[in-house]
Chains A and B, each alone.
Chain A
Amino acid sequence: MAVTRPIASRRQVLSGLAAVPLAFAFLPQLAEASASAVEAEIKKLFGDKAIGSGKIKLDAPQIAENGLVVPVTVEVESPMTDADYVKAIHVFADENPLPGVVSYRFTPASGKAVVSFRMRLARTQHVVCLAEMSNGTVHMTKSEVKVTIGGCGG
């Protein structure tokens, strides 16, 4: 009996420890209700492929006064030769009514993988950008944009 008692108490301690991170795990999900919609889109494109970081420079304002017109520039590091180039860039927004923003498909003739465009943001959220390279690797980056006036009308 004297042996089992300490084991039981260790179990209690362990289950208590496990409950703490579990309780906090729900908080970020509440804050980003449709981050999972972006994840679903990424899964549709790349399945369970490992996604790396780096290579992408996502230039978006930290604060956008007007969510209707948010200027964004995406720059992917690549020599853009026939052997090594950026195949595609995909942009998503995790708190818009629809997650997709734009996809660009490049060829080595582009010279460099840089695009600028203007997008709508319904509210403060992350802009997520993925780059697909010709060797099959995928890179991702995201940037938070605070929106003063949302851009989805109605």
Chain B
Amino acid sequence: MSNPTPRVRVPAKAKAGEIIEIKTLISHEMESGQRKDSAGKAIPRKIIKAFTASFNGKPFLESDWHPAISANPYQSFFFKVTQAGEFRFVWKDDDGSEYVATNKIELA
């Protein structure tokens, strides 16, 4: 499979105090480690095991994922905007690689 590509939807502007929804999607097969190939051999697990969302360098949401998360994981969560700044989203793979996306937000 090609390199996992994260896609994030964050509003470009928000009022101070507004709670915004953030949606993220990343292409990843999330191989559960439960499947067998045609020869009956177990296919080794390879999933994204953790996700962190930070704003201006401060993490505000962390999550641990298990093999029960669907392929091409989608999620949505919320954030209360108090100032302009930059979001940083990091997905951590079983193999040690990290997939990163950044998004800026301005005050309306």
Q: Which residues of A contact B (CB under 8 A)?
A: 68-70, 80, 93, 96-98, 100-112, 114-121, 151-154
Contacts and interface: CB of A to CB of B under 8 A. Distances in A.
A36 to B, nearest CB: 18
A115 B77 contact: yes
Contact of A104 (B61, B66, B70, B79): B61
B77 A102 contact: no
Given A102-B63, A117-B76, A120-B69, 5 more contacts: A69-B71, A105-B61, A106-B60, A115-B77, A154-B35
Interface in B65-86: 65-71, 73-80
Interface of B: 19-20, 32, 34-36, 55, 58-71, 73-80
A111 B79 contact: yes
Contact of A98 (B62, B66, B74, B75): B66
Given A110-B60, A110-B80, A97 B34 contact: yes
A31 to B, nearest CB: 20
Nearest to A97: B34
A110 B81 CA distance: 9
A120 B32 contact: yes
Contacts of B69: 101-102, 117-120
A115 B75 contact: yes
A112 B65 CA distance: 21
B63 A103 contact: yes
Nearest to A71: B74
Contacts of A119: 68-70
Given A97-B34, A154-B34, A154-B35, A109 B79 contact: yes
B68 A93 contact: yes
Contacts of B68: 93, 96, 98, 100-102, 119-121
Contacts of B35: 152-154
A102 B34 contact: no
A120 B60 CA distance: 26
A101 B19 contact: no
